Structure 1
Amino acid sequence: MKFKSFLAKPFAAYVVKQIRRSMQQAVPDQEAIFQDLLKTGAHTQFGKDHRLEEGMSLAAYRQAVPIRDYESLKPYINQIKEGKHNILWKGQPLYLAKTSGTTSGVKYIPISKESMPNHFNTGRNAVFCNLTEMGSTRVFDGKMIFLSGSPELERVGGIPTGRLSGIVNHQIPSYLRTNQLPTYETNCIDEWETKLDRIVEETIDQNMTLISGIPPWMQMYFDRLTQRSGKKVGDLFPEFSVLVHGGVNFEPYRARLLETIGRPVATIETFPASEGFFAFQDSQLSEGLLLNTNSGIFFEFVPVGEIFSENPTRLSLPEVKTGENYALIINSNAGLWSYNIGDTVRFVSLNPYRIVVTGRIKHFISAFGEHVIGEEVEYSLMKAATESGVHITEFTVAPMISQQEGKSYHEWFVEFDHAPDDLEAFAGKVDGNLRNKNIYYDDLITGNILLPLKIRPVRRNGFIEYMKAQGKLGGQNKVPRLSNDRSLATALESFVEQ
């Protein structure tokens, strides 16, 4: 055991002990965080506008502060961007995380001094929990990589501003800098394919032990390594043992990623966003992600069917149930108040509180009243793929609306790594899985209102070409699983196999 792994072992054990303690007191921790948020929030411009008071009840708070999205928070963000102080949180944010929104354009999400540990420490905690369970911290003896956006920052209102992954890059402690790849100069390259080639050059001869990023971009990295070396990634990096992923559901990518690696490695799922790091996989043996209940965020949960209601039900931890889909609402020590982050979750355990991410509120299909969500399409496709020995590279789904009664259907754009021998039979399996998963969709098929789904095979690298054409290749960008309109489907038409 080398020096860094030797030192990491007792520190990891200490961190894990703290996390285990937090599991048992999640509810009181949440209550304490709520009151701590009020103490600071009451003295901000937002707090004065909404009459926040120290010690006010949760019921009173919910009356005073309705659920909001970025557009509703934007007037306060604009004041922060003008350099004003004490707007959403005390003083000025430490950083502004710049993120692209489909409805709000570019978003600027505040990160405070108090919220920064949530963003950085949670990823560390995820790794420590799993390594402790595995009984080894040897990954710290090798090189680690996070496929991320540029760490270069601009200033907006005097505040350092950039992509979250780049901001977090600045927080990596000095003792890990020598383990980190790629170099700062390579990380600053904007053009993804140029950057990827440089990353391959810098890592191909290194002792890589931990690799992390969004699954589709990790796959591109692995493919380039294999093309360059002629080896499986697991053979190229014999000590590679941990793959950390987040941003999208891992399951559609799992089979092909692990095939490219060529041997088993531990996979660790995380649930980060510019607004906060909400949950992480703490065990290789348990389903779901441990909710981050003691990290400066007070969580609320709204039944998905009520999220657009005028007065939706707002639940805190003691009131949630397993098996139900909730919209995730956060109140944070960065000054995000009753903020709808747009993700939906489902609890799989209440002791401790573990969740799975089920999709995005805005990513659904309900052109005919079926309200199909991301979790359902991913399950339906991957079940059929597993049973058929088919590997999926990428996919998305959109409605095809016909003016002729009973001629509409769901159109699936799928890029196969290994295509099925009988595409029509494969589509039938996917359709059957979706009918079993969603009773409304099944009723529409049974009633001849919809035809069974149709699959349009996308040519190899078609989704990459599409993302490149949109200027969204690499970084934290991802393809939406579902759209309730034809905009994405229309753009993909030119990438379909003829």
Structure 2
Amino acid sequence: MKSVKSLLAVPLAAYVRNRIKKQMLTAAEDQLHLLEQLLRDAQHTLFGKAHHFQEIKDYKSYREAVPIRDYEGFKPYIEKIKSGTQNVLWKGQPLYFAKTSGTTSGVKYIPISKDSIHNHIDTARNALLCYIAETGNHNLTDGKMIFLSGSPVLERVGGIPTGRLSGIVNHHVPRYLRTNQLPSFETNCIEDWETKLDKIVEETIHQPMTLISGIPPWMQMYFDRLQAASGKKIKELFPQLTLIVHGGVNFEPYRARLMESLGEPVDTLETYPASEGFLAFQDQPDAAGLLLNTHSGIFFEFVPADEIFQPQPTRLSLGEVQTGVNYAVLITSNAGLWAYNLGDTVRFVSLNPYRIVVTGRISHFISAFGEHVIAEEVEQSLQAVASSHQVKVTEFTVAPRVQVSEGRPYHEWYIEFEQAPADLERFAEELDQQMRKRNIYYNDLITGHILERLQIRLIRKNGFIDYMRAAGKLGGQNKLPRLSNDRYIADALQAYVIS
């Protein structure tokens, strides 16, 4: 017998899906109207007055008045908010600070306003409702759901509740889903990831799980613990499990091993959340790319990625983008972020509707020799070769080896396999060929005898987990960079290399 919750999900899902389809038709125009509204709402803030919001009439004048900033550029305003000043970046004070780690800024405090909290909560809901509308799978609302998240315990910074985004969102789970939610609040509050994970396994192993959500590497760790405890595949344990919700990192490098752990096919739903805003989600199971979240308080701009560090880069509104170009993402939002450089790069795969794929981070690349290798290229190359060799990759990262005692420099790949390829030399050669196909600059450096062919360093079983533990970044929303232009991570990983 269907629950009331399950029955009500069907008309609600149809309503939300139809509304989103209508919004697709006017997305570019509506984005410009949204910018006008954001400027009106913030014109009396300190930031609005300093940048003459009252005089801004259109997108062109907005570009001229408001320069691109990363978190460092917003830090003085954040410090004012922390000191108790009102109406700094947005009306009043933030509802929360989302605390996140920056690569160059240390800890970052991202404001979430009373207006912007809906972006995080409603978009997650809409992604699930679109899935239900498209697949007819409303039964997932009858079972238990888990999100592998950070602690919901919040501290106060400048009087403002502060914590990880996933912990903040935990406080806003709709009441009608509270009875579905696992783990318990007490377990979610455990700070040590491995202690928490053991407790999650204990609480969920005998439950009717229908949905599991989290970052892929930590989802895999959860699956491994479940299998160790039960000796069963995940679908044997959870026969009602029908949906995996994932985001944070590219799912494809983890797909094969996760699906093997599951034992049977399970639907997947990709999302693109960030502390700064919920940017996109997979609105159709079979569509390429993620639907850009154009009607949720975020105005988007796009800068060709190779221009982002120039003094006057090209800035484009949604109606000006093209498919196939790698763009850095800027957001202006009702959280009080203005032409904020998110640090992510995306590529449009469709303009009707506007769908994107995430290609990497502007700070995560290798260009020690001018090759500018990006995450999308290494992920796709490794996926192709691993598939042809029928091996599963647990985790990997890549860095340049510039200083060599003899021979030429090269790119060094640190890879943990579930089982290493039978012929590692052939695997490395094919991986190098895949990289040369995808990056012409890398190919030129190889053919010009500037670089040697890439080399692979095998990481021992659980080596990456041990590294993340040693670095204090195990679990939660912490992610391992796919690429580094320096050797900070690579040198630390030497301790986990199989000699």
Where on the TM-score scale, by shorter chain, does this alignment land: which range? over 0.9
In the other structure, the counterpart of 2:162 is 161
Identity %: 67
The answer to whether the Cα contact below 8 Å between 1:405 and 1:449 also exists between their aligned partners in 2 is no
* Matched ranges for 1:44-123 at <5 A: 44-53=45-54, 56-123=57-124
The answer to whether the Cα contact below 8 Å between 1:406 and 1:449 also exists between their aligned partners in 2 is no
**2:253 match: secondary structure:** helix
In the other structure, the counterpart of 1:12 is 13
Whole-Å separation in 2 of the counterparts to 1:406 and 1:286? 46
* Matched ranges for 1:88-487 at <5 A: 88-402=89-403, 407-487=408-488
Whole-Å separation in 2 of the counterparts to 1:56 and 1:83? 31
The worse-fitting range, judged by mean Cα deviation, of 190-199 and 404-413 is 404-413
Deviation of 1:54 (Å): 6.2
Name the CA shift for 1:224/1:47 in 2 (closer, same or farther; >3 Å): same
In the other structure, the counterpart of 2:492 is 491
**1:328 match: secondary structure:** strand
TM-score normalized by the length of structure 1:
0.99
User: 1:71-109, CA deviations, whole angstroms, 9 ceiling, x for partnerless residues?
Assistant: 010000001111110000000001110001121010000
Whole-Å separation in 2 of the counterparts to 1:420 and 1:488? 24
Q: Mark the runs of 5 or more structure 1 residues left unpaired by the alignment.
A: none
The answer to whether the Cα contact below 8 Å between 2:56 and 2:62 also exists between their aligned partners in 1 is no
Whole-Å separation in 1 of the counterparts to 2:52 and 2:467? 48
Whole-Å separation in 1 of the counterparts to 2:479 and 2:434? 25
Q: Mark the runs of 5 or more structure 2 residues left unpaired by the alignment.
A: none
Whole-Å separation in 1 of the counterparts to 2:302 and 2:69? 13
Whole-Å separation in 1 of the counterparts to 2:256 and 2:480? 18
Letter in 1 for 2:220: Q
Whole-Å separation in 2 of the counterparts to 1:365 and 1:352? 32
TM-score normalized by the length of structure 2:
0.99
Q: Runs of 4+ in structure 1 displaced over 2 angstroms?
A: 402-406
Whole-Å separation in 1 of the counterparts to 2:89 and 2:236? 50
Deviation of 1:55 (Å): 5.5
Whole-Å separation in 2 of the counterparts to 1:35 and 1:415? 49
Give the superposed CA RMSD. Answer: 0.9
The worse-fitting range, judged by mean Cα deviation, of 332-341 and 10-19 is 10-19
Name the CA shift for 1:49/1:409 in 2 (closer, same or farther; >3 Å): same
Deviation of 1:36 (Å): 0.7
**1:372 match: secondary structure:** coil
User: 1:284-303, CA deviations, whole angstroms, 9 ceiling, x for partnerless residues?
Assistant: 11100000000000000000
Letter in 1 for 2:93: Q
Letter in 2 for 1:285: D
User: 1:198-222, CA deviations, whole angstroms, 9 ceiling, x for partnerless residues?
Assistant: 0000000000000000000000000
Deviation of 1:387 (Å): 0.8
Letter in 2 for 1:473: L
The answer to whether the Cα contact below 8 Å between 1:214 and 1:245 also exists between their aligned partners in 2 is yes
Whole-Å separation in 2 of the counterparts to 1:149 and 1:322? 35
